[in-house]
A and B are shown apart, each in its own frame.
Chain A
């Protein structure tokens, strides 16, 4: 078996998040492997539809829930459109886990602010559930999540659950014009939502993921609040083929997203050449 050969996984559940975004719950065909498989929040894999090819996404489920993994994707390219045509019981390929991960051990004992935009919630969700499954080991949990419109919010059933929990401060926001008459959350862009929700950076970690434009305008807000650059974590995506440092396409200057990332601090991000 060579390093490019995927494990076989079966689709156990399909959840439509939005009109074009879908979550698959996958289980290893080989039950022995299912027991051995370990990963950390923030790692990614190469998911494949046989006959169509491979595509790179994060593992969107937390390592605290074993026996399965979840991935969320938007039907955009050849592989993601093919993934969308599959049904429960169908087989997909998976290679991974690859890359580094969020520093959960370091975050223990601290408060965490999670900030996500659109499908950027997928990698953040893995950390959120990881933290919630070990809730007593962390201090305050704040989740700020926004999308262009109400229809673009993903993991709606979980947003509802988080909103009901007393041990989470949840702030939902949609862009101006994206609200519905029933919308009870904020109508604001993420940087504004962060400004209005987060009051202190003291001892906090921030985990942020979303479109580049969101990250660009949110980082100054976090820095103004006093978050040091090495306590702000984000995860980058770039086109990959191998996922293991050989195919030569995900590097940003000397930094390989697949090997050095995908998780980077804001300090590390600022040092990267502007080529992403």
Chain B
């Protein structure tokens, strides 16, 4: 991997060049409704970006799987129905200063979106995007990326990583796409800048690691064989089934498909975010519901993230961003729940009195 040094002015010049070429640039900015909060948003100048301030309220998911998007539009005519495609090629965009756990989430979701049937809407946007993440130093007590195989220094899914050094950033050029982005920008990195960044990459892990011990590989197997464990009945008692956790999650990707009239003859078919935590999610037209209670729905969430997805695709469906815990109105804290479940899975079986 090669490095470059990018001063603050140099980064501003890069953003200005991208914007003038018509490339969309997305960065963390101060939320319009609450200056204490951060949102990922399109920016019109580098000055708008608020890099490394705190975790954005929502993940990057919405830039690839929008909360609602049109899959097709239709028009009823006397002769029949006419369908109009939606473009699957997206305009070029650069994400600047993304948090590593959010970027990793995209790489995880890529796998299901490419499972035999390639979701061109997702990949159209993925292919058009260059991602520059920022070494994370904004962790709090709810973060647990190091417990799920990632870390605040993780390169996963990113093209360039920026690590703050004196006067600017050290840029790690992770992919060819990343090298292409910085072509003609930045300078050769001094050895002490590289050493400083490497030290920072090691140091940040220590700020997250105490929050939750690494989830052991055997945990998935234990979950799969404990589908009927009575613990599911009690574990979800504080879950309201609101689905806020799924909305803020970088890896929750479940969706609904619905038709929407525009007029009597015209309309669109839409894909909307959905959540396995709501009772309607699996409800059959007959009234039968395979996941009829909240405990079954919460079990699905934990099983999907820590057993089903890893068994299918090798990755946990969780990047440890902790947003679900912050968003939950019922105080369901995922790191606490996971650590309790892991403890249970590691508990020695009681020796039965022979």
Check B117 against A246 for contact (C-beta < 8 Å). yes
CA distance A248 to B249 in the complex (A): 15
Query: Provided the pairs A2-B71, A242-B257 are in contact, do residues A249 and B276 lie with their beta carbons within 8 angstroms?
Result: yes
Instruction: Say yes or no for B296: interface residue by CB 8 A criterion.
Output: yes
Query: Provided the pairs A253-B224, A254-B312 are in contact, do residues A4 and B257 lie with their beta carbons within 8 angstroms?
Result: yes
Check B282 against A238 for contact (C-beta < 8 Å). yes
* Majority DSSP secondary structure for residues of B touching A: mixed
Query: Provided the pairs A29-B80, A241-B257 are in contact, do residues A254 and B71 lie with their beta carbons within 8 angstroms?
Result: no
Beyond the given pairs A2-B85, A8-B83, A54-B259, 17 more chain A to chain B contacts, judged by CB atoms under 8 angstroms and listed by A's residue number, are: A2-B88, A3-B117, A3-B120, A4-B269, A5-B72, A50-B76, A51-B267, A53-B257, A238-B290, A239-B282, A242-B255, A248-B253, A248-B254, A248-B255, A248-B276, A259-B116, A273-B228
Q: Which chain B residue lies CB-closest to A8?
A: B81
Residues in A with CB closer than 8 Å to B224 are 253-254
B binding-site residues for A, Cβ under 8 Å:
71-72, 74, 76, 80-81, 83, 85-86, 88, 112-113, 115-121, 224, 227-228, 253-259, 261, 267, 269, 271, 274, 276, 281-286, 290-291, 296, 300, 303-304, 307-308, 311-312
Residues in A with CB closer than 8 Å to B267 are 50-51
Instruction: Say yes or no for A217: interface residue by CB 8 A criterion.
Output: no
Residues in A with CB closer than 8 Å to B308 are 251, 253-254
CA distance A268 to B115 in the complex (A): 22
* A:217-257 near B, CB below 8 Å: 237-239, 241-242, 244-249, 251-254
Instruction: Say yes or no for A139: interface residue by CB 8 A criterion.
Output: no
Residues in B with CB closer than 8 Å to A183 are none
Residues in A with CB closer than 8 Å to B261 are 51
Nearest Cβ on chain A to B271's Cβ, whole angstroms: 7
Check A254 against B307 for contact (C-beta < 8 Å). yes
Nearest Cβ on chain B to A265's Cβ, whole angstroms: 20
Nearest Cβ on chain A to B136's Cβ, whole angstroms: 28
A252: which of B81, B257, B290, B312 is its contact (CB, 8 Å)?
Answer: B290
Query: Provided the pairs A5-B71, A253-B227 are in contact, do residues A246 and B112 lie with their beta carbons within 8 angstroms?
Result: yes
Residues in B with CB closer than 8 Å to A76 are 285-286
B85: which of A1, A237, A252 is its contact (CB, 8 Å)?
Answer: A1
CA distance A8 to B313 in the complex (A): 34
Query: Provided the pairs A77-B285, A253-B224 are in contact, do residues A2 and B120 lie with their beta carbons within 8 angstroms?
Result: yes
Tally chain A residues at the interface, Cβ within 8 Å: 41
Residue pairs across A and B with CB atoms within 8 Å: the count is 126
Residues in A with CB closer than 8 Å to B291 are 275
Residues in B with CB closer than 8 Å to A237 are 284
Query: Provided the pairs A241-B256, A247-B256, A274-B228 are in contact, do residues A4 and B72 lie with their beta carbons within 8 angstroms?
Result: yes
Check B85 against A91 for contact (C-beta < 8 Å). no
Check B312 against A246 for contact (C-beta < 8 Å). no
Instruction: Say yes or no for A80: interface residue by CB 8 A criterion.
Output: yes
Instruction: Say yes or no for A10: interface residue by CB 8 A criterion.
Output: yes
CA distance A76 to B285 in the complex (A): 6
Check A3 against B119 for contact (C-beta < 8 Å). yes
Residues in B with CB closer than 8 Å to A4 are 71-72, 257, 269, 271
Check A2 against B86 for contact (C-beta < 8 Å). yes
Residues in A with CB closer than 8 Å to B118 are 3
CA distance A251 to B291 in the complex (A): 11
Nearest Cβ on chain B to A274's Cβ, whole angstroms: 7
Residues in A with CB closer than 8 Å to B283 are 239
Nearest Cβ on chain B to A253's Cβ, whole angstroms: 6
A47-64: CB near B (< 8 Å → 1, else 0) gives 011111110000000000
Residues in B with CB closer than 8 Å to A259 are 115-116
Check B286 against A2 for contact (C-beta < 8 Å). no
Q: Which chain B residue lies CB-closest to A29?
A: B80
Check A254 against B311 for contact (C-beta < 8 Å). yes
Nearest Cβ on chain B to A164's Cβ, whole angstroms: 34
Q: Which chain A residue lies CB-closest to B311?
A: A254
Residues in A with CB closer than 8 Å to B81 are 8, 50, 91, 93
Q: Which chain B residue lies CB-closest to A244?
A: B117
Check B257 against A275 for contact (C-beta < 8 Å). no
**Closest 10 interchain pairs by CB?**
A77-B285, A248-B254, A91-B81, A76-B285, A244-B117, A273-B227, A50-B74, A91-B80, A4-B71, A53-B259
Residues in B with CB closer than 8 Å to A274 are 228
Nearest Cβ on chain B to A89's Cβ, whole angstroms: 9
